Amino acid sequence: MTPLRQRYLEDLQLRNYSVKTQQVYVECVSLFARHFGRSPELLGPEEIRAYQLYLIREKQVSWSRFNQTVCSLRFLYATTLQKEWIIKHLPFPRKETRLPVILSPAQVSTLLQAISNPRYRIFFTTIYATGLRLSEARRLEVADIDSARNTVRVRQGKGRKDRYVMLSPKLLELLRQYWKAYRPARLLFPGMNPEHPLAERTLQDALRQAREKAGLNPQVTAHTLRHCFASHLLERGVNVRVIQLLLGHASLKTTARYTHVTDTALAQTVSPLDLLPEPERP
């Protein structure tokens, strides 16, 4: 590991960035340096601009990936290299707004039943019942399930924040049956090594197979179940602020996007035409 890379990693750790964010940032900076075959210390605004155009025109990366690259380079030049003047040459692109894929309750049920492995089925059922992210569900511990208070503790979610979500009575019964069958010790969903959670790739493969078996949209992922959790609550009249807290969103604006994808709410909205008085008949 080069001294610059080591210092960059230490700066990320000092500012309490998550391990996953550290890995992504280091990878983005590494690809940037590899593209030019030189250390970032020797690169400036022209190379940054050229690399941004390369990502857009040739690599055609997603907005998310482009944004990760910009953030990683901003941190590198402003914090590690102390060259804040370069930040002006790292503009953020206009963000694309795309509505998430939402399944109906019947489709969610079909998807979950299509998961053949009982452990994986209860894992994804937990995500739908609580609205957790995939990474949050993987880190759940047995002690996080509080049957007395009917809550689930989410440890260090996005933004390094703890939160609580509701514990469905139906989910509690399923988890009790699961615990009796598999007897997990600390982690609720351990992998081959009891000290490590189920592998993310294994879970994604299991859901992909179930999605294909159920004949659902290819864009359905584990995060889709989180989207469904939010949208189905909204359709049942749950306050959007409550949903924001359950999802762990820092901004209400992020949660508000679900108001655009609730078909039930749209169908029940009365058009002003229907409220006009009937004209008098001659």
Is there a catalytic annotation at residue 88? no
- Write out pLDDT tens, residues 50-76: 999 999 999 998 888 998 999 999 999
**Residue among 89, 133, 155, 257 flagged as catalytic:** 133
Query: Are 81 and 114 in a shared domain?
Result: no
Domain boundary residue, one of 89, 121, 155: 89
Is there a catalytic annotation at residue 178? no
- Write out pLDDT tens, residues 103-114: 999 999 999 999
Average pLDDT (188-215) is 95
Question: How sure is the predictor about 120, in pLDDT bands with cuts at 50, 70 and 90?
Answer: very high
**Count of beta carbons in the 10 Å neighbourhood of residue 10:** 11
d(CA 15, CA 261): 36
**What is the model's pLDDT at position 263?**
52
Alpha-helix runs per DSSP H in 92-221: 105-113, 118-130, 134-138, 169-182, 200-214
Domain that holds residue 130: 105-264
**Residue among 163, 226, 227, 232 flagged as catalytic:** 226
Cβ proximity of 136 and 143 under 8 Å: no
Q: Is 256 inside any structural domain?
A: yes
- Domain count across the chain: 2
Q: Percent of the chain beyond pLDDT 90?
A: 61
On the CB side of 17, how many CA atoms lie within 13 Å of its CA? 19
pTM: 0.70
Is there a catalytic annotation at residue 223? yes
Kindly tell me if the per-residue pLDDT of 269 is higher than 60: no
Kindly tell me if the per-residue pLDDT of 241 is higher than 90: no
Is there a catalytic annotation at residue 133? yes
Is there a catalytic annotation at residue 227? no
Is there a catalytic annotation at residue 161? no
Domain boundary residue, one of 89, 117, 146: 89
Q: Is 245 inside any structural domain?
A: yes
Lowest mean pLDDT among 44-48, 208-212, 273-277: 273-277
